[in-house]
Structure 1
Amino acid sequence: MTETAVSGKRAAEWMMILGVILSMFLILGIFAGTAPQSKEDLRELSDGWYLMQDGARVEVTLPTVRKADTKTMLTLYNDSLTAADAGMTLTTRGALYRLRVLLGDEPLYEYRDDLFPRNEQMRTKLDCTVNLPGETAGKALALIYEIPDSREYQIPRVYIGTGSAVFRHYCLADAFTLAIVFVMLVMSLIAVWISLYSARSGMRDRRFADAACFLLLCGAWCTLDSSLAQYLSNMSPVVCYLSFYAFMTLPIPILHFVQNTGEMARYRILDLCILLFYLNAALQGLLCRLGFFELIETLFVTHILLAVGASVLCGLIIREYLQKRTRELLVVLVAFATLSLSGVLALLLYWLLGIPYYGLIFECGILVFIVILLNGLIATMAGTLRFKTEALVYQRLSHEDRLTGLRNRRAFEQSLETLEREAGSWENVALVFMDLNGLKYINDHFGHSAGDELIIGAARCIERAFSGYGECYRIGGDEFCAILPDPVLGEEEWNALLDEEIQRHNQSSRFKLSIARGASRLRDAAGVLKTVSDWKFEADQMMYQDKESRKMREK
């Protein structure tokens, strides 16, 4: 691997590593700063609770687990509120049991999901927040739970504190999810940066943009699905709808990613899968809008599509890998196997066990999945960069004279072909042929190393005189030329520049340098284009005339 490719790969990998480390430090700093400053900010209201059973008061300490009886409601009371609790915020998880909160005879809160129905798993992770009124002393606080039939019910902890303390409590409760979201955001920015860098380097790979889009959708879904987002939006239906649509469209950028891998675009079933996910989101939204179904009732359709889509993707990738056996396909296969495993595990936790934290399993799987993919993409980009670098080096060497570093005869002939095609776009082009005088004498009497020294000296003089106006070439052993598009100087001025450089060289060189030269313009005085062969012949004749005249002067 070339040094450029290695450095490019290392730079991208270090960007990923530093991004993850930076995000974790930022998260730790944020949540360290959000910790409660004192016990008075937020306290757990665990004691002082009781319920009335057969006319008797039964003390209860929260949290507690009780078996459901034939009653449809459970009411817990607390008489410990004081005047200091006025204006405070009370929070607990009771949406699962359709919690209602009363202070004395005054209703303060009732969980309702009329605007956006939620299933049991969704309600389990929702917090119910109550703002206490200005007068609390001497009033009994009542929490009323609707009891599910023939099941155990869990009464969670109850917290009370200032609004800012409750907000910090929510942030800490969702710290893991927020940390994952922040890492996703950082990695998406890194993917965008690599995508732009690869495009500027002529190695555009759309998969980096696909990965960035996937990460942004995942971050949006994780954020909107969190209890913190529900708390900040006051359980707004808009947040729930956005969360559902982010989840329903998650697979689309991944399907595009697979299409842009190798030759996978030839599988038309991938286009069908993308269409199905778009149709799923559109039809569910339409049916929900028309009142036929609620999104929660059709969620299983999305899960079925996800399972089928994951199976199709894995099957296609396995098939392609068995045919091609490339490292790129192996990395994609391992990444998708990891994501599929986490997705299946999350679905099992969701549907079979009813565990509310199924999303965290899938979120961790997404992070591992995207890290594997991005690392594989970076390795692929590094390989492409190596290939392009080697190709450029080979091309440069094939067009470069190794002794002088000037462009060689092959490059000169290609330049002439280009000029012949584009001659009409130039006002004029000057061609200067040059030939060293006395090189054979130097080679015969002082050796070829001395001759090479003279050739290199001539190349440097020609380069300094003409490189600011056009391209310089070594087209033979002692033959050089320069092509000057739209020349701003006349022939006498070119000769003066070259003679000045030769004189400067001869002052410090042990061998005297002399260069014969002849020039021709591609258009004649009337502006008529010459043929390239006539143009070259005229410049060559002018050079030999100059060479003969110099010999005559030296005699």
Structure 2
Amino acid sequence: MKKISNRTRKIFYWIEVIIVSIIFFLMIASNFLKYNQEFNLNDEKQKIEVIKPKKVVKMDGLKTLYVFDRDEILKKGKMISFFTNRLEVDAYVDGEKIYSCHKVNSKYGETTGNVWNQVIIRNDIMNDVYIYTKYETRINNIKNIHFLIGDKSLTIKTLLEKYFLELMVSIIVIIIGLYICANFAFATVELDQSDGAMYCGIVLVLLGIWAVNESHIVTMFYRNSVARYFTSYLIIMLIPYPLLIFFSKYYNRHNKVVHFVVGIGYILNIIFSLLFQLAGIFELHQSVIVTHMLCLIVIVDLMYTGIITIKQNMRHQRHSIGAVVEIIGLFLSIISIIIIYYFVRFDTYMYAITMIIIVSSIIWGKLAGNRSKLLDEKQRLEYYYNLAEKDVLTGLKNRNSYERWMRERQRKINVAIITYDLNDLKKTNDVFGHLEGDTYIIEAAKIIDKVFNEVGESYRIGGDEFCTIITNKLDMPISKYINTIKLLQEMYNRTEPAIIMNIAIGYAIFDKNIDNSLEDTRDRADAMMYKNKRRLKNKNGPLEVE
């Protein structure tokens, strides 16, 4: 695999820094604009106002009646808009039902889901508008409802502007997760090890998809509440185990008991939750408590790992403030979503996701830095390895590499050894200098490597001595390859170099009947090579090949 240069890795690093910075900015801007617009909908330029019911009547526990003044509605707009979370809604005026939102009976879920309700009011109404809501029996569904009134097109435009950054942040979270997965997948291949960052990317992708699915803009324009409901809870069920694997690899700690419990619970939860949902026994939102329990187990394991890590840092007199902040941030990020789900009256989870992304980005930066150090270390090791194993002048493997291969080689059948010697190299050095002699060696090595680089491994085992070892099955006899070398040699000599290139060549194939070892095979190759070397010097005849 082609190695990534230091310059390329630095470019990737700065790209990561820029992306994280953009994410921080968008999240801060998104939350700021959300708060800003919550309290400035009455601005005259927007012409969209918050309308408060003149009467709120709590009925039989789960039902609520909101009464809106007729005159105020006719004065301020023709459409009342409001967001509901798993509520059934009916709107009446002048004894006529003008809007309804009820649970959809489906094997994938019986729920109203999250809905942006738009109640359009006629100009000729005679009485007040009555809006009835009925809660589903869920712990977290009792949330304040904010009613907006205004022209339909302006209302939609305002809501798009208000929640655009929320959607964009969610999409960027998915992109970051995919980028982390791809980036660290390649790094894993290059480093031959995994730091678990890919699982962090997977969790971010899942959270991003979930956030997009729950976003107000998707809720507004994608009306299939059952599909969104099913998708959201399915994604939530997929998160705990990848999260646990990431923590285990990140902190280099594997608790077999926790992995077994979470792993088994993870699989059974997905299987039985889906079966119960499809069979109509339990809704997914009723079995989500199992997913949250698995997440709590992961959190407890994380805190225990954090305590161990901090103690180890203190024992080795290392600063542990960063580790404490990191672990607390992770703990608060995960627990915040569960708390919001059960107890907090928010209509968005972007606050919790913001915290998760901030902490994840810090971890991402830490992993990227560690990865960069590991890659630098690996490149240094490879550099020193090349110094020990490769010939600096020609780039071929050196004698050390050749001797190591000969010691470690077990299988000898079908091994062919070709040896070479450069005629007149000493003469070249004496007459034309060592620089010209080096050129002679380099050009000869290029020819040898060009012919045999796909079928064997070539070595420089002496000043003017080379060797090629072939273990692959050849498509043609070795003599044909040798003839190719002679052809390339003649082509080089036509360029009128300072000294004519003459490569003496010999070869032998291991024969168990006459060779006790591969050294015996090489001795036979050398014998042929020296015989051809004498022929070339004496000009007595052609090269000998079998």
Question: Does the pair score TM above 0.5?
Answer: yes
Q: Does 1:473 align with 2:462?
A: no
TM-aligned CA distance change 1:335 to 1:358, over 3 Å = farther
2:330 is matched with which residue: 323, 326, 339? 339
| Deviation of 1:142 (Å) | 0.5
Matches within 5 A, 1:95-106: 100-106=90-96
| Deviation of 1:438 (Å) | 6.8
Contact 1:457–1:505 (Cα < 8 Å) also in 2:
no
Q: Does 1:16 align with 2:6?
A: no
Matches within 5 A, 1:132-531: 132=121, 136-145=123-132, 156-162=146-152, 165-198=154-187, 201=190, 203=192, 205=194, 207-234=196-223, 236-261=225-250, 263-265=252-254, 267-287=256-276, 294-297=283-286, 299-319=288-308, 322-323=311-312, 335-348=326-339, 351-352=342-343, 354-357=344-347, 359-413=349-403, 421=411, 423-424=413-414, 429=416, 431-437=418-424, 439=426, 452-453=434-435, 455-470=437-452, 472-482=458-468, 486-487=477-478, 489=480, 494-495=485-486, 497-498=488-489, 501=492, 504=495, 506-507=497-498, 517-522=504-509
Looking at structure 1, the residues matched to 205 and 484 of structure 2 have their Cα atoms a distance apart, in angstroms, of: 62
Q: Over residues 376-430 of structure 1, what are the superposed CA-to-partner deviations in whole Å (9 max), with x where a residue is unaligned?
A: 3322322332233223222222222234444321233456678883653x7xx46
Looking at structure 1, the residues matched to 284 and 195 of structure 2 have their Cα atoms a distance apart, in angstroms, of: 32
**3-state DSSP of counterpart to 1:467:** helix
Please, which runs of 5 or more residues in structure 2 have no aligned partner? 38-42, 136-141, 541-546
**TM-score, structure 1 length as denominator?**
0.72
| Deviation of 1:253 (Å) | 1.4
| Sequence identity percentage | 17
Please, which runs of 5 or more residues in structure 1 have no aligned partner? 47-61
The one-letter code matched in structure 2 to 1:479 is: E
TM-aligned CA distance change 1:422 to 1:101, over 3 Å = farther
TM-aligned CA distance change 1:551 to 1:339, over 3 Å = closer
| Deviation of 1:96 (Å) | 9.1
Contact 1:23–1:186 (Cα < 8 Å) also in 2:
no
**3-state DSSP of counterpart to 1:369:** helix
Q: Over residues 501-549 of structure 1, what are the superposed CA-to-partner deviations in whole Å (9 max), with x where a residue is unaligned?
A: 4675653xxxx5775724234279xx99966334322332344445555
Looking at structure 2, the residues matched to 348 and 520 of structure 1 have their Cα atoms a distance apart, in angstroms, of: 77
Looking at structure 1, the residues matched to 241 and 171 of structure 2 have their Cα atoms a distance apart, in angstroms, of: 22
Looking at structure 2, the residues matched to 434 and 318 of structure 1 have their Cα atoms a distance apart, in angstroms, of: 66
| Deviation of 1:108 (Å) | 1.2
Contact 1:436–1:479 (Cα < 8 Å) also in 2:
no
| Deviation of 1:217 (Å) | 1.5
**3-state DSSP of counterpart to 2:69:** strand
TM-aligned CA distance change 1:84 to 1:535, over 3 Å = same
Looking at structure 1, the residues matched to 70 and 450 of structure 2 have their Cα atoms a distance apart, in angstroms, of: 90
**3-state DSSP of counterpart to 1:421:** coil
TM-aligned CA distance change 1:102 to 1:397, over 3 Å = same
Say which one has the larger Rg.
Answer: 1
TM-aligned CA distance change 1:464 to 1:244, over 3 Å = closer
The one-letter code matched in structure 2 to 1:175 is: F
The one-letter code matched in structure 1 to 2:123 is: T
Contact 1:83–1:136 (Cα < 8 Å) also in 2:
no
Task: Report which structure shows greater RCO (CA 8 Å, sep ≥6).
Answer: 1
Contact 2:493–2:501 (Cα < 8 Å) also in 1:
yes
Contact 1:24–1:183 (Cα < 8 Å) also in 2:
no
When structure 1 is superposed on structure 2, of 268-277 and 280-289 the one drifting more is 280-289
The one-letter code matched in structure 2 to 1:44 is: I
| Deviation of 1:66 (Å) | 7.4
1:539 is matched with which residue: 509, 516, 525? 525
Q: Over residues 159-218 of structure 1, what are the superposed CA-to-partner deviations in whole Å (9 max), with x where a residue is unaligned?
A: 2333x5444344334334313212211202212321442355364637343223212211
**3-state DSSP of counterpart to 2:397:** coil
* Residues matched between the structures, number: 502
- Please report the RMSD computed on the Cα atoms of aligned residues, expressed in angstroms: 4.9
Contact 1:249–1:278 (Cα < 8 Å) also in 2:
no
| Deviation of 1:234 (Å) | 3.7
**3-state DSSP of counterpart to 1:174:** helix
Looking at structure 2, the residues matched to 480 and 284 of structure 1 have their Cα atoms a distance apart, in angstroms, of: 68
Contact 1:412–1:475 (Cα < 8 Å) also in 2:
yes
Residue in 2 that maps onto 1:59 = none
TM-aligned CA distance change 1:233 to 1:286, over 3 Å = same
Looking at structure 1, the residues matched to 317 and 273 of structure 2 have their Cα atoms a distance apart, in angstroms, of: 39
| Deviation of 1:312 (Å) | 1.6
Residue in 1 that maps onto 2:117 = 128
When structure 1 is superposed on structure 2, of 290-299 and 263-272 the one drifting more is 290-299
